[in-house]
Chains A and B, each alone.
Chain A
Amino acid sequence: MNDTPNTTRRGFLKAGLATGGALAAGGGGAAANPDPLITEVQPWATGLGAGVDATPYGLPIEYEADVIRRNVPWLTADVISSINFTPIHALDGTITPQGCAFERHHSGAIDMRKEDYRLMINGLVDTPLVFTYADLERFPRVNHTYFLECAANTGMEWAGAQLNGAQFTHGMIHNMEYTGVPLRTLLEEAGIQPSARWIYVEGADASSNGRSIPLEKALDDVLVAFRANGEALRMEHGYPVRLCVPGWEGNMWVKWLRRVEVMDRPVESREETSKYTDTLADGTSRKWTWVMDAKSIITSPSPQSPIVHGHGPLVIAGLAWSGRGAIERVDVSLDGGRNWQSARLAAPPQPMALTRFYLEIEWDGSEMLLQSRAIDSTGYVQPTKAQLREVRGLNSIYHNNCIQTWWIKPDGEAENVEVS
């Protein structure tokens, strides 16, 4: 992994387009007049700022007011069974702040006090148990950072380039550091019987959103989480307790978790038959498509985050992830997939968590067809849309992990396109 930035000019040139090009419309030139922001005493340098406790729980400064979740009203009949999108085009690093992490509810986000929370474990166990929230906090805890991606992320793009913005094409994802108790610990507290093969998990909301999970996975890394990024979960993410199913589709991460039933068979609930199954070209459908395939996206520049600084140094930033393990490498193409170069990974990749990548180039103002391609620790390479369609046809809806193309125009604007 190459985690030293190419900060030298030679590095830029090596990493970038072979530019002979014009320099710096937006920087590097000499100033004609002194900058008043420097030469004049500014109000903030003479008066006083806000006192402590001006906002007991801090919110982003007003200038960041557009960094918010957004939805696409035409997608769903109403906002209660609906989805919105994380503003990934405007974030950096890898951790998603809870307040702008996307939401998906099937019967609305419910409002439940910790005191009213109960978790039942029943079925093929020696002793069916009920835990309170306070009980959960007395079990040994772990901390893990995981991405949660909705299986429908990028789903609108199966048929062609549709939504103009990384937030809308790839924003059904977030990445948080969770604190919780391994589900294994709770199952062992109840005593798993030998005939057990599956668990069925459901939430306390009206949808209950039940899902069946193989016992093997349940005992491996599934987490009963009550904090994210150090804080209590937000209501919209399942306060006070949700399930984390690392690397697997977001629908399985049951919110307001109320019951885990140990079973010898799957329930075949609505969420694993009518929904979250993937129809192939011949009309048969795959079921139990749990793992999220390796995927990446350039978050900037992108349609909602155009290049506004003119020619010269440009940071291309993006995210990569895989449900099968850690990201090994990310390649970036500036010419629609003809030629590729490896991007710089910002930190050592962690399994089933987002990885940030950067490619620093010298942009000469020519058009680009920007793409990124993730390669994970199993050697899986993120496919093109054409490769996916060849196997799956056009009707799969879920699990679209294809390579995305942004067309960068000479004025720095970007557009979601498909290329040959």
Chain B
Amino acid sequence: MSKFRNLLVCTALASLAAAPALAEKLGLGRPALPEEIAAWDVDVSPDGAGLPPGSGSVADGEVLFSENCAVCHGEFAEGVDNWPKLAGGDGTLAREDPLKTVGSYWPYLSTVWDYVHRTMPFGGAQTLSDDEVYAIVAYILYSNYLVDDEFVLSQENFLEVEMPNAGGFIVDDRDGVEVPRFSQPPCMNDCKDSVGITMRAAVLDVTPDETAAGETASEAVQVAVAETTVPAAASAPDPALVAQGEKVFRECAACHRIGEGATHRVGPILTGVYMRAAAQAEGFRYSPAMTEAGEGGLLWDQTTLDAYLERPADVVPRGRMSFRGLSEPGDREAVIAYLRSFSE
């Protein structure tokens, strides 16, 4: 680990000067209880340490993946739109634009188990049981042609699975390869014969437009809000407000789709939701709380949507929308106008 010896030397002086002298323990904090450690210490290492007992089959994984993951990652883990692809890319690492997936790139299976277990599905982390995680991981392996369709992954056979790119990594060698090369005294004058422009950003034109900045738009929203004395249930939504709402909807797009061709994701399709009873989207599994609220007469109008989008849990306690809410009234007004534009 010589790489940060240098760094140690450079910083030693500064740290010495600034660090408080500490001789003894201060006796602060309290011992962690075994149950607490068990709740938080869930990391799994490449050698399998940390894996809980359990197992799951490719067949079960396929069903679970389709229900919990496919809206973003695709039925075959091939990825939807800009969401990560989890399968494919075999043999592409040395090519232009390599496709890095669990199959083509990840060196350890433990990482897949650990990550799915603690972080996915996006918006519903830590809701899968251990057996479900085994099954889903088995299915991701299957999608990458690394196991056959009869395969059952378990704590026992975990280390037998071979990851194709396990040998594909080297420890940072910049200190040996780059630092000497880039530590030559630099040239100051007549360093090259000629200079020409070889590529221009303006030609590509992918830079976001500055004039479409959020703050000007939200000012427009504020004005619109102020001028609307009665929440406009009858009149058509203002197009500028709808446009602003479309931007706000980016905060919802992780879980909701709207409009033509929309499918359920973590949350239901929102087409037609405005002025409809809660929990009516066909084929979506709502929380019991939301279903009950719908049956109890909760109607998504300006007022109820505004309240729900500000603090979901205040309107539907124990509902399943794990969204922290929109605190800006202008944002809520705009996104509701956007929802309305799909209910006309």
Contacts and interface: CB of A to CB of B under 8 A. Distances in A.
Interface of A: 65-66, 68, 70-74, 76-81, 106-108, 110-111, 120-123, 127-132, 135, 138-144, 160-165, 168, 182, 185, 188-191, 200, 202, 206-208, 210, 214, 216-217, 220-221, 246-247, 258-259, 261, 265, 267-270, 273-274, 277, 279, 281-291, 293, 303-304, 323-326, 331, 335-341, 350-352, 369, 373, 375, 377-383, 387, 391, 394-395, 407, 415-420
Given A283-B93, A391-B181, A417-B197, A258 B40 contact: yes
Given A164-B207, A420-B192, 11 more contacts: A78-B253, A79-B254, A122-B37, A138-B28, A160-B199, A189-B29, A202-B43, A220-B11, A290-B172, A291-B3, A369-B197
A172 B102 CA distance: 27
Given A273-B107, A339-B188, A419-B196, A383 B26 contact: no
Contact of B169 (A162, A287, A323): A287
B168 interface: yes
A331 B36 CA distance: 54
B45 A338 contact: no
B189 A206 contact: no
B337 to A, nearest CB: 19
Given A128-B32, A221-B11, A387-B182, A80 B254 contact: yes
B247 to A, nearest CB: 9
Contacts of A331: 186, 188
Interface string B303-323: 000000000000000000000
Contacts of B94: 281-283
A58 to B, nearest CB: 17
B286 interface: no
A139 B26 contact: yes
B82 A76 contact: yes
Given A127-B31, A286-B170, A419-B196, A268 B110 contact: yes
B250 A78 contact: yes
Contacts of B45: 265, 267-268
A138 B26 contact: yes
Interface string B48-60: 0000000000000
Nearest to B94: A283
Given A206-B126, A267-B43, A163 B206 contact: yes
A208 B45 CA distance: 16
B32 to A, nearest CB: 4
B100 interface: yes
Contacts of B177: 391
13 contacts: A66-B210, A78-B253, A107-B125, A162-B201, A258-B40, A269-B43, A279-B93, A338-B195, A378-B179, A381-B183, A415-B200, A415-B201, A416-B201
Contact of B36 (A130, A162, A338): A130
A337 B22 CA distance: 50
B20 interface: yes
B1 interface: yes
Interface string B1-27: 101101110110011001110100110
Contacts of A304: 210
Nearest to B247: A73
Nearest to B3: A291
A144 to B, nearest CB: 7
A391 B169 contact: no
B183 A379 contact: yes
Contacts of B40: 120, 122, 258-259
A351 B14 contact: yes
A81 B183 contact: no
- By size class, the interface of chain B is 35 or more
A173 to B, nearest CB: 18
Contacts of B29: 121, 129-132, 135, 189-190
Contacts of B46: 265, 268
B15 A417 contact: no
Contact of A139 (B28, B122, B191, B208): B28
A181 B158 CA distance: 40
Given A247-B7, A380-B182, A419-B198, A128 B31 contact: yes
Given A81-B122, A293-B174, A395-B98, A273 B106 contact: yes
Contact of B10 (A107, A162, A326): A326
Interface stretch (B113-121, B138-146, B292-300): B113-121
A286 B173 contact: yes
A74 B209 CA distance: 12
B47 to A, nearest CB: 8
A417 B200 contact: yes
B284 interface: no
Contact of A68 (B172, B174, B215): B215
A270 B259 CA distance: 34
B195 A420 contact: yes
B10 A324 contact: yes
Contacts of A277: 169
B194 interface: yes
Contacts of B186: 331, 340, 373, 375, 381
Given A77-B83, A139-B26, A286-B171, A377 B196 contact: no
Interface in B158-190: 168-174, 177-179, 181-190
Contact of A164 (B19, B43, B178, B202): B202
Given A162-B201, A206-B119, A283 B98 contact: yes
Interface in B205-256: 206-208, 210, 213-216, 250-251, 253-254
Given A351-B11, A419-B197, A122 B32 contact: yes
B172 A324 contact: no
Given A78-B254, A291-B7, A165 B207 contact: yes
A139 B19 CA distance: 12
A258 B42 CA distance: 13
Nearest to A85: B208
A247 B31 CA distance: 32
A339 B200 contact: no
Interface in B101-151: 102, 105-108, 110-111, 114-115, 118-119, 122-123, 125-126
B81 interface: yes
A200 B43 contact: yes
Which interface residue of B174, B182, B250 has the most chain A CB atoms within 10 A? Answer: B182
Contacts of B344: none
Contacts of A279: 93, 98, 100
Nearest to B219: A65
Contacts of A206: 119, 122-123, 125-126
Contacts of B105: 274, 285
Q: When A and B form their complex, which 6 residue pairs have the shortest distance between CB atoms, in order from nearest?
A: A283-B94, A336-B195, A140-B20, A283-B93, A416-B201, A77-B82
Nearest to A66: B213
A122 B207 contact: no
